[in-house]
Amino acid sequence: MSATELAWSKDALDPKKESEGDAISPHYESYARQVRRRFMRHKLALWGLATTLLLLAAGILAPWLAPYPPNEITDSFSASPSADYLLGTDQVGRDVLSRLLYGTRVSLLIGFTTVAIYVTFGTFVGMIAGYYGKWVDMLLMRITDIFLSFPYMLVVLVIVSVMGASLWTIIIVLALFKWPAIAMLVRGIVLSLKKADYVRAGVALGYRTPRILLRHILPGATGAIIVNATFGVASTILSEAGLSFLGMGVKSPQASLGNMLHDAQSLTVLTELHWLWLPAGFVILLTVLAFNFVGDGLRDALDGKQS
């Protein structure tokens, strides 16, 4: 080991350095550069990231990009694409492009909010179960097994039909049945990490449990959590689209990608008015592919076995 590496190792193990909140160590910066380099080599992941940023920008800037208010009714019913209406109008005269931009915004909002809720809760459950073990682990994992045993989409449909379909109902119900997977993932990682020497050293030094969990164990699970969350956004957007297509999701006149497809279920629309469903279907496909490619790239980049 060189003198420089030895100095870095001493700094990393020095409790005074940790308490003083010094800058990130060169080892961490080196690992961050490696992750970035691996990710940059993944061409599909780069395409997915660029597409995701473009979709986010379109959703955020929808009020300025949309040529018309999304619920404004014009006197052009089911009009084909033209200079005035770039993607045509729907059966009640609303501009399809405007509704597509706002629908992308709503679908992304549902995806990110749902994932943020269930990842936070699932990570908490998994960390507590894995760290404390024994009866705590047994109790939490049996509750997790109960949620996993439900037929997911059927139960979601029943709950939404009872509570009434709305934006926040969809978010809460989807999050309610998606946290067990992340909880089991985090539990497995914590079971492995809590046996590490640096965690045992923290316990021996008398560090409080929250500090050990948040500063010593959670960073080791962050990579897997981020990858799972990335795939989770794509899965949630598909779930919302499916619910809205069945009429159990976001209700019209509020636009979402799913209920734009719901309004185009008739054979006449499918065969003759293709501008009513092709744009929404294409954006759903593009969004899901983009997030999945980003997730693949992150998984490969965070894998230490990758060169």
Residues 6+ apart with CB under 8 A from 155: 177
Amino acid 293: pLDDT = 92
- Res 18: pLDDT: 44
Strand, coil or helix: 263: coil
CA–CA separation, 101 and 59 (whole Å): 6
pLDDT at 286: 93
Report the phi/psi class of residue 122: left, alpha or beta, with left for phi > 0 and alpha for psi in -120 to 50: alpha
Coil, strand or helix at 95 = strand
- Kindly tell me the burial class for residue 56, based on how many C-beta atoms sit within 10 Å of its own C-beta (0-12, 13-18, 19 or more): middle
CA of residue 254 relative to chain centroid, distance:
22
| Type of residue numbered 301 | A
Give the residue from 158, 272, 273, 182 showing the smallest Cα distance to 232: 182
Burial code of 29-40, b = ≥16 C-beta within 10 A, e = fewer? eeeeeebeebbe
| Mean pLDDT (10-residue bins), the chain, 307 residues | 41 44 48 80 90 93 90 84 86 88 92 94 92 89 89 84 83 90 91 83 81 85 89 90 83 83 75 83 92 89 66
Q: Which CATH superfamily is domain 51-77+84-302 in?
A: MetI-like (1.10.3720.10)
Nearest-5° Cα angle at 194, 192 to 200:
140
For the record, the structure tokens of 14 come out as: 């020095």
Domain boundaries, the chain: 51-77+84-302
Place of tokens 């929808």: 62
Closest CA to 78 of 272, 286, 247, 300: 272
Structure tokens at 148: 């996993």
| Residue 110: predicted pLDDT | 92
User: Looking at this protein, which amino acid is placed at residue 127?
Assistant: M
The confidence score (pLDDT) of residue 305 equals 58
Are residues 243 and 249 in contact, defined by beta-carbon separation less than 8 angstroms?
yes
- Distance of alpha carbon 295 from alpha carbon 291, whole angstroms: 6
Interatomic CA distance for residues 110 and 119, integer angstroms: 14
Say how far apart CA 288 and CA 279 lie, in whole Å.
14
